[in-house]
Amino acid sequence: MAVRIARYSGTIPHPPAQDPVALPPLDSPQWQSPWRAFAWGLHSITQTILTLVLFATYLGIGALAHDSHFSLVWALASTLFVWAGPAQIILITTLGSGATIIQSAIAVTVSAIRLFPMVVSVLPLMRTPTTRRRELFFAAHLTAVTLWVECHRFLPQVPRERRIAFVNGLGFGLVSVCLTANTVGYFLAANLTHTLGAAILLLTPLSFLFSTARNSREVADVVALTLGILLYPLAAKMNSGLDILVSGVAAGTIAYGVHWWREVGA
């Protein structure tokens, strides 16, 4: 979160994609059809390790839904309409603990605010002068942390006029993987121990941490990530329930100050 705050301020550009991506050249005839672009996006889920991380995570969410006495249909619907692992965990645990629908909705909404800057940063990469707003609705709904990370890696290799179709295919593939994992995890819940379930859910934040560390090219990125990790234990001692927000805002603000100081001194 600390790195995102510094980056969303507009001062730190996203690093260019450097990992090899098995996609056709930008001028290839294979990009002429939007359906081919959709198919390439769907195929691209095989080129990211985050697909496996999502599968393991949603195994745990399916098991959690089963243990909380929600139906499989309800679990699948939460994945389709919420499409954010942490928010789904919040939704299941709050409703399972007896909270009202309004309380759960507020908690999920607060959790989902973190996705808004991601949508704002990704949609401009897909738009063209002739793009209609309704063409971006599905892509906006699909934008979560995994899609956000992979869009910055894949989209430079996709012609701009085919990026919406490509992202729709990529997002559709990721959601399909998660729905499958939900179903498998739901039926395996009886044999999944609480320790294993917790370990599986931990894969998601760890993968995002490693991805952020790998993409930290600027000094401000490194400062934000390091301070975010160091400040979190101190913020957790406040017992405010806002430990991630406090440590992220503090670290991101300091990182922005470091970046500004370096720019002025340059």
- What distance in Å separates the CA atoms of residue 203 and residue 56, rounded to the nearest whole number? 8
Q: Quickly count: other Cβ atoms within 10 Å of residue 240's Cβ.
A: 10
Closest CA to 213 of 202, 224, 203: 224
Tell me the range of 51-60, 114-123, 168-177, 255-264 where mean pLDDT is highest: 168-177
Would you give the end-to-end CA distance of the chain in angstroms?
Answer: 27
pLDDT in tens, 175-217: 999 999 999 988 887 676 777 767 766 766 676 677 677 767 7
Q: Which of 137-141, 155-159, 171-175, 197-201 has the lowest mean pLDDT?
A: 197-201
- What distance in Å separates the CA atoms of residue 227 and residue 229, rounded to the nearest whole number? 5
- What distance in Å separates the CA atoms of residue 2 and residue 247, rounded to the nearest whole number? 8
Contact assessment for residue 58 and residue 82, using Cβ atoms and an 8 Å cutoff: no
Q: Which of 74-78, 153-157, 215-219, 248-252 has the lowest mean pLDDT?
A: 215-219
Q: Which residue has the higher pLDDT, 93 or 189?
A: 93
